[in-house]
Structure 1
Amino acid sequence: MNHILKMRVVMMFVTLYMLTAGNIFAQTVQDSLKQVLKQPGLTPEEQVMTRIRMGRALVDGSRKDAIAATETALAMSRSLKDSKYQALAHSALVSLEYTAEDTTLATHHLDSAFLFAKQSGDPLTLASVWYRKGWLESRIGKPHEAVKSFQESLKLGKGLPGNIYETSVYYNLAAIYSDWKDTDNQYRYALASLVSARLRSDPDDMCNAYQAMATSFEYQFDGDSSKRVFLDSALYYNRKAIATYEANASRISFRSTIALLALNTANLYDQYFPRPYRDSAQRYLDIALRIGKETNQQEVVASCYGMMSSFALNDGNYNRASELLLAGLMALKTYPTPDNRLMAHLMEALSDVAERKGDLPTALQYAREYSRYYAKAFDADRMAIAKRLEAQYQARQREQELVSLQEKAAFNRKLNVVYIGLIVACLVALLYLFRSYHFRLQSTIQQQKLLEKEKQDGELLIRLKEQESIRLQLEKQEAELQVRLQAEEAARLQAEQQLIQTQKEQLQKDLLAGTLQVEQKNELLQSLQEKLQDKSVQPDLAKQITRMIEMHKRMDKTFETTRSEFENIHPEFFRKLQEKANNTLTKLDLKHCSYISIGLSTKEIASHLGVAPKSILMSRYRIKQKLGLGKDEGLDTYLMAWRENNPLGGATAGEVSGAG
């Protein structure tokens, strides 16, 4: 379970939510911005910036509306003299289009943002565009280029008032170095992020900086688990972030960060602390689950339910584990587009729990659902990879076109210089030869890079084929499991049929034996009656009658043997009676119950047992008390109802009474 659903919260995952906020806060921001737009005397510049912020607030509810609001700001910015507003609008559209999975359009907006930022000459605007470039590069798989872009943003914005991107730059750099397992640089940039956040006192930046510090110490602890101080520091900064959120809840824009922090804190308690700390882990899980649902974070919701399910599984409570996994499944299904990979993980976990419970049909059903969702996730990943490769190819095409245009421009400049004079022409020719050699060298290097990229694409295709082979193998295993279940089911049915046949044969034998016993008793009674009517009774008649009565008693002793045979055919009759009576029924009581179950009246039972009917009534009353039956419940109705539901057992009870 833990290897499926327990997730480590890393900084790169948190930064994917830097542009989204919770539904409740987003609604508050929208209302505030709408009030700002209604204010009279608002300058065009203020309107543009307000609409850009409006697009940022709308992204969590509707990306379409967010893009529309930002495009309105872009249209308005075109009428302004300062081109920095167009740069900021294009920069905002970069993140919005990327979250809408249109990387190509996001790249076009980034190029436009650079163009207008350079025209404006504003270093702070250019620094923000360089930050956005690094942000996009880090998400399309270009971390080295992202580091260069972030460093350029820091250089341009250093010491400038109003630089709101400095904390985020350090934060993203720490995330990249964490992916590279460079804990020294990760800690350095996380600390820089915290210092920058404290200067601005922005609660969102403070939460992110605390989270970056916590992740840095957590990675250091992973590298050297003997230094417990690293784990304590990670928990300390996580708690600081959560405390900052609780103290500034109305000012927090990115509540999704707190959900991830709470989940990571719960994971640390579960992974590195003994079981008595389970309550601490559960408390942070509750926080993560609540905020995860409010901010529509499917990964957080699924991970919370998965971790709680692992708690129940470790306790041996399989039913509770299944309930929690099903609750997570229902929570994911409430999203407009549930994550297929998360659904597959939950299905796999449910299959594992069902298999541990011994419920193989249910395990097979969940395994099928896992295969179905895994196939969907696989197709989605393959499509995303194809889009990313296409975007990278287009980027390389633009770079090559730019190089080609630069080469043409340089060549034209050389031709113009040739007309100045022979000497200058010779110098230009030498320069041209040198530069041509340089360009050819660059072209060769570029071709080598392209060949290396094609090789990487080929390796990626091979991995995709391997994943497809794994999926086919899973389907084959599923088919084999189904065949094995069908074979076991056929064997079970055959065994049941053989048992029923054996019981029928035994029942026929018992019925024959009972019939012979009844006939023998009737002959004995008839013989006794004839001897009593004979007036010439011999002196030894009394002894003879006594011996016949003793023989009758010995036949009654066979009741225990008959009862054992009855229990072999249907052991539930006497066992359930004893369970209901707390094992207080005597052998005579059980014999009495067997007579009632076959429908004998009180007089008939008294005749069989050789006692007065009054004694039978008292015995019936005593048995009702032992069975705990109420005044309105009849003993005959109770026993006859059990016999009708178990006809085979009831028939044998009749044979028992007949034998007695």
Structure 2
Amino acid sequence: MKLKYLLIYCILFICTLYPAQNTLIDGLKNQLSGNDISTAEKFRIYNELTEYYRVSDQYPTAEKYVQQQLELAQKQNNYAEQVKALTQKGIIKLNQSKYDKVPSLIDESNAIAQKSNDKIASLYASYLNIYYNNALGKPENTIKLIQKTLPLVEKQSSEIILNAKLNYILYGIYTEWNDAENATKYAKKAIDLAEKSDNKNLLSSAYSALAVCYSFQYEKTGDLKDLKPVIEMCKKAGALYHQFPGHVSAHVQAMALLNLINYYLNYPVMTPEIRSEIQNNANEILTLTQHTTLNQGMQAGALGILSNLATRDHNNTLAEQYLLKAEQILLTQQPVYYHVMINVVRDLAKLYAEQKNYQKAFEYESKVTEYSNLLFDEGQAETAKRLEAQYQSQRKESELKALTEKTASLKKEKLLYISLGIIGLIGAFFMFRSYHFKLRYSIERENKLDTEKHEAEMQIKLQEEEQARLKAEQELLTLQQQKLQSEVLASQLHIQHKNEVLQQLQTQLSDTDINIHQVVRGENRVDNDFEKIRFTIQELHPDFFKNINEKAKQKLTTLDLKYCAYLYLGMDTKQIANLLSVEPKSVRMTKYRLKKKFGLDENTALESFFQGVFSE
């Protein structure tokens, strides 16, 4: 059973991207020879032509287009297309079982991908490695590589078909393992991706793949209801050819019909409708394969089915004719497709035995043995090639691992030497810096000491000059104080004289005859006396009135300035009242008002405040 699924999977995978019709291929060739075609379109056509001839086993022609694609990609510095061409070249070698030719192509693809840092190139390099591991029969490695690559492919919306191919490979692996659940999951993913890509060939093959997955359940139960979904998927695969004319290749359609017929033959009762459909489909397969190459296996299969129907009708002669024709067709292919040939000669042996033609029966039984041995030998040779390729691959991996470890060791050793060298340089640098710092510190300290000595000498000289200047100023201040004292004394005498004048004026005012001119002259003398006092204050402290005006929070009047001068000279309230001929109460009110103007509190004496102004 496992071999049956494996054969179906291999045939389906080969047909995955089979081009629609020969007419389409001819059209692609005509486009390629045109002058107005873009480079991008050329690459697309090269990929399709290479795929067509590769799956047709026309490897020389496929390699010709691969080489043209590779040369154009190198000329255009298109790294993605270079890797795509190398990938196709590697797959062609694998299809020819030339496993030893592929590792160098994988290395070249990886080198281009790494050099270019192109994401698409990297994905196709990975795909070639995946295909190689799958061809060598290393499913575990294949799955690991796909699990690593598939998330990156899914991020590239332009690579839906590559995504579908990877899922199809996973479907095939799980089919070989009889894992129906996972096989079904990946077959369904392949269907979804095929629908998105609008590739009907891929979609038809994916439907056939899902039919294989559904057949697992039927093989277990034998229940007819489990066969119906299998038939349904096969019909979907075959219907695309007629729904989308020209989009599904004859080869893919023939394969879909062959699968459908094989499942129909599992019906316990063959109704006339089913028989008619089987016969029509078999004849359609023969018609379709007339236009394809290397179709001997499918033609022989269709003839075998017609032989089966003739046998059911007890028409042994017709059944024999179909089988003999199938044998002849298979012999035209080199190498012979032994899997189908064994079934054909076995059916002939059985047919001749029923006809009691034992000589012919023995002859074909011998052929069964002969072809079985040839198939075994072919399988052994193929297995030997794969084992040799696996051995070379493992040896290369071991050498690569050893080389990687050696490189890592050398790198660590190199890093160690570099580190030691750096440490030595750093040590030498710090030693030099330390010596340089000490030398510079010594020079700076010596310079600093010289500077400090010079500054100390200058400081002593300045102190001596300052002392001489202070002494001269002190002598000058002493002279000024003596002068001021005499001037203040003279001012006080003038004030006393003014007081006597005022007392006389007061006496005169008691008389009826008042000389007003004398009163005015008296007032003028008071003002003159104030001017003298002001002159005395300004001589004592030139900025006195300027300072008190600056200290005041409000504007000061002339009378306010007089009060300030009197208070600064140390006169008390009674003296000021007598001088200004006002009541002491008025003087106290004025002093209160002055405190407000200067922003002083009640406990601060104006006399002390003015003395402070003088001392500033």
Under a length normalisation based on structure 2, what TM-score does the superposition of the two structures give?
Answer: 0.62
Letter paired with 2:280: R
**Cα deviation digits, residues 274-304 of structure 1 (max 9, x gap):** 1223223223323334334543333322222
Change (3 A) 1:150 1:326: same
> Which of 333, 342, 355 does residue 353 from structure 2 map onto?
355
Measured in 2, the distance between the counterparts of 1:349 and 1:152 equals 47
Q: 1:69 corresponds to which residue? A: 65
Q: 1:136 corresponds to which residue? A: 132
Alignment of 1:410-425 (within 5 A): 410-420=408-418
User: Secondary structure of the residue that 1:274 maps to in structure 2?
Assistant: coil
- Give yes or no for the alignment of 1:119 onto 2:115: yes
**Cα deviation digits, residues 42-82 of structure 1 (max 9, x gap):** 45555455334332233326311211221232233223333
Q: 2:545 corresponds to which residue? A: none
Measured in 2, the distance between the counterparts of 1:41 and 1:263 equals 42
Letter paired with 1:414: K
- Give yes or no for the alignment of 1:258 onto 2:253: yes
Letter paired with 1:85: E
Measured in 1, the distance between the counterparts of 2:6 and 2:383 equals 24
Q: 2:401 corresponds to which residue? A: 403
Shift in Å, 1:409: 0.8
Q: 1:429 corresponds to which residue? A: none
Change (3 A) 1:231 1:369: closer
Q: 2:241 corresponds to which residue? A: 245
Shift in Å, 1:229: 4.0
Q: 1:181 corresponds to which residue? A: 178
Measured in 1, the distance between the counterparts of 2:225 and 2:345 equals 38
Change (3 A) 1:152 1:368: same
Change (3 A) 1:38 1:294: closer
Q: 1:592 corresponds to which residue? A: none
Letter paired with 1:235: I
Alignment of 1:154-553 (within 5 A): 154-163=150-159, 164-226=161-223, 228-253=224-249, 255-276=250-271, 277-295=274-292, 296-420=294-418
User: Secondary structure of the residue that 1:275 maps to in structure 2?
Assistant: coil
Shift in Å, 1:395: 0.7
Change (3 A) 1:288 1:90: same
Letter paired with 1:410: A
Letter paired with 1:87: V
Q: 1:32 corresponds to which residue? A: 27
- Give yes or no for the alignment of 1:94 onto 2:77: no
Query: Are the equivalent residues in 2 in contact too, given 1:9–1:260 (CA < 8 A)?
Result: no
Measured in 2, the distance between the counterparts of 1:319 and 1:266 equals 22
Measured in 1, the distance between the counterparts of 2:47 and 2:194 equals 23
> Which of 81, 86, 96 does residue 77 from structure 2 map onto?
81
Change (3 A) 1:129 1:7: closer
Q: Which runs of 5+ in 1 are unaligned?
A: 426-660
> Which of 107, 113, 126 does residue 103 from structure 2 map onto?
107
Letter paired with 2:258: L
Shift in Å, 1:273: 4.1
Measured in 1, the distance between the counterparts of 2:128 and 2:225 equals 36
Change (3 A) 1:377 1:222: closer
Change (3 A) 1:34 1:319: closer
**Cα deviation digits, residues 190-209 of structure 1 (max 9, x gap):** 22222222222221222122
**How many percent of aligned residue pairs carry the same amino acid?**
23
**Cα deviation digits, residues 190-237 of structure 1 (max 9, x gap):** 2222222222222122212222222222222223334x4432222112
Shift in Å, 1:373: 3.4
Shift in Å, 1:399: 0.7
Q: 1:434 corresponds to which residue? A: none
User: Secondary structure of the residue that 2:336 maps to in structure 1?
Assistant: coil
Shift in Å, 1:359: 1.1
> Which of 143, 146, 165 does residue 142 from structure 2 map onto?
146
Measured in 2, the distance between the counterparts of 1:133 and 1:291 equals 35
User: Secondary structure of the residue that 1:162 maps to in structure 2?
Assistant: coil
Query: Are the equivalent residues in 1 in contact too, given 2:238–2:257 (CA < 8 A)?
Result: yes
Measured in 1, the distance between the counterparts of 2:266 and 2:9 equals 19
Letter paired with 1:116: I
Which deviates further from its counterpart, 301-310 or 399-408? 301-310
Change (3 A) 1:311 1:48: closer
Change (3 A) 1:36 1:312: closer
Letter paired with 2:146: F
Change (3 A) 1:310 1:117: same
Query: Are the equivalent residues in 1 in contact too, given 2:255–2:298 (CA < 8 A)?
Result: yes
Query: Are the equivalent residues in 1 in contact too, given 2:163–2:193 (CA < 8 A)?
Result: yes
User: Secondary structure of the residue that 1:396 maps to in structure 2?
Assistant: helix
> Which of 21, 38, 46 does residue 51 from structure 1 map onto?
46
Letter paired with 2:348: L
Query: Are the equivalent residues in 1 in contact too, given 2:150–2:163 (CA < 8 A)?
Result: yes
Measured in 2, the distance between the counterparts of 1:270 and 1:326 equals 21
Shift in Å, 1:150: 2.4
**Cα deviation digits, residues 289-339 of structure 1 (max 9, x gap):** 433454333332222222332333344433232222112112223335432
Measured in 1, the distance between the counterparts of 2:379 and 2:9 equals 22
Shift in Å, 1:158: 1.6
Change (3 A) 1:6 1:351: farther
Measured in 1, the distance between the counterparts of 2:335 and 2:248 equals 26
**Cα deviation digits, residues 99-136 of structure 1 (max 9, x gap):** 22212213322332232223332323323333333233
Query: Are the equivalent residues in 2 in contact too, given 1:134–1:148 (CA < 8 A)?
Result: no
Under a length normalisation based on structure 1, what TM-score does the superposition of the two structures give?
Answer: 0.58
Letter paired with 2:187: A
Shift in Å, 1:87: 0.9
Measured in 2, the distance between the counterparts of 1:408 and 1:323 equals 68
CA RMSD of aligned residues (A): 2.9
Query: Are the equivalent residues in 2 in contact too, given 1:9–1:263 (CA < 8 A)?
Result: no
Letter paired with 2:241: Y
Shift in Å, 1:92: 1.2
Letter paired with 1:221: Y
Shift in Å, 1:15: 0.6
Q: Which runs of 5+ in 2 are unaligned?
A: 424-616
Change (3 A) 1:341 1:270: closer
Change (3 A) 1:367 1:209: closer
Measured in 1, the distance between the counterparts of 2:398 and 2:297 equals 40
Measured in 2, the distance between the counterparts of 1:411 and 1:7 equals 48
Measured in 1, the distance between the counterparts of 2:11 and 2:385 equals 20
Change (3 A) 1:112 1:175: same
Change (3 A) 1:292 1:230: farther
Change (3 A) 1:265 1:395: same
**Cα deviation digits, residues 547-605 of structure 1 (max 9, x gap):** xxxxxxxxxxxxxxxxxxxxxxxxxxxxxxxxxxxxxxxxxxxxxxxxxxxxxxxxxxx
